[in-house]
Amino acid sequence: MLECGRTGLDAVCEHLETAGAVSVTLEDAGDDPQLEPKPGATPLWPQVRVRALYEHAIGPEIARSALPDTATVTVVRVRQISDRDWLAASLEDIVPIEVGALWIGPHRADPPPDRVVVRLEPGLAFGSGRHPTTWLCLEWLARKFGCFPTADAPPAELDVIDYGCGSGILAVTAAVLGASRVTAIDIDPQALRATAENARANGVSDRVSVVPAETAAKAPVRPASLVVANILADPLMALAPTLADLTIPGGDLALSGILEAQADEVADAFGGAFDIRTGGRSEEWVRLDGRRREER
């Protein structure tokens, strides 16, 4: 592990890879989070922590010799990591969560009785349910499908679109809760694979369809009565016309991945087609709930 300034960072990474690093990851070394980098952009902080993983042990001197002379490196640390089953280790961190009568957890965990159970292993795609933005969407789905004691009975034949499905946690949960049809859309092939696998593991493959976003843009997807999108503020605003087209008149929309300071701007972007309100808050995040206006 080393820390360096933003200047010369590309050269540092290139030299580490040339010296045999099997992976190089970048982290914020200070307190300058990049909450919403542009799509496809690599977040760059003023001070960057670089972690390089090597198959064979190296010493600090060898690590330094792999760096360009122009690098402004302030810290170099080397430690040996014992070999282990990293997939199993990563799954140990997945803690079951409960939202009303809904229980979501890994296959190794035992749910309490009388719960609606969703088994989830996130794999390579984002989404274990622990992040506040995902929890806000799960709460929305749980209420729509009657998982709280005070909730009304859900209408029959609810269909769902999960735009930006990630691991498929929302799409699969909707199917397990009883959605008649679920369409999961994402730009990431890994996300679509993870969603399909999680749908199979929960026995709902027959009601969950995975669709690449590029395909959805070219071939119209049938609009749904419930549409959920847990992404980020900028992509959500850009997708406002698309999400409006995907929601039937009178249908409901949930938008998450929005910081409180961004809520008004996102609401304005959807205000032309939806009646929008703040539906939930968790930490610094909010969920916006919308009702698609009836066509006149």
Q: Residue 92: is its pLDDT beyond 70?
A: no
Q: Residue 286: is its pLDDT beyond 80?
A: yes
pLDDT of amino acid 216: 94
Report the chain's C-alpha Rg in angstroms: 22
21 pLDDT tier (thresholds 50, 70, 90):
confident
Q: Which of 183, 135, 178, 136 is nearest to 153 (CA)?
A: 178
Range in 75-84, 127-136, 161-170, 180-189 the model is least confident about? 75-84
In whole angstroms, give the CA distance from residue 133 to residue 129: 8
Pull the structure tokens for residue 154. Answer: 């859900």
Do residues 158 and 179 make contact, with C-beta atoms less than 8 angstroms apart? yes
For strands 116-119 and 159-163, give the pairing: unpaired
pLDDT of amino acid 126: 46
Which helix (H) or strand (E) is 258 found in, with range? strand 247-259
Say which residues have a Cβ less than 8 Å from residue 271's Cβ, sequence separation at least 6: none
Q: What is the pLDDT of residues 177-213, one digit of tens each?
A: 999 999 999 999 989 999 999 999 999 999 999 999 9
10 pLDDT tier (thresholds 50, 70, 90):
confident
In whole angstroms, give the CA distance from residue 230 to residue 174: 14
pLDDT of amino acid 122: 53
Pull the structure tokens for residue 126. Answer: 């984002």
pLDDT of amino acid 247: 98
93 pLDDT tier (thresholds 50, 70, 90):
low
Q: Give, in order, the Cα–Cα distances in Å from 245 to each of 173, 207, 208, 239, 288.
A: 23, 21, 20, 10, 18
**pTM, 2 dp:** 0.73
In whole angstroms, give the CA distance from residue 108 to residue 128: 15
Q: Residue 43: is its pLDDT beyond 60?
A: no
Q: Which of 100, 93, 145 is nearest to 120 (CA)?
A: 93
One-letter amino acid for residue 31 of the chain: D
Do residues 174 and 182 make contact, with C-beta atoms less than 8 angstroms apart? yes
Say which residues have a Cβ less than 8 Å from residue 14's Cβ, sequence separation at least 6: none
Q: What is the pLDDT of residues 214-241, one digit of tens each?
A: 999 998 899 999 999 999 999 999 999 9
Angle between helices 132-144 and 169-177 (to 10 degrees): 20
Q: Share the mean pLDDT of the chain.
A: 84
> Three-class SS of residue 245?
helix
> Three-class SS of residue 19?
coil
Q: What is the pLDDT of residues 52-90, one digit of tens each?
A: 887 777 655 666 666 666 556 766 777 776 665 545 555
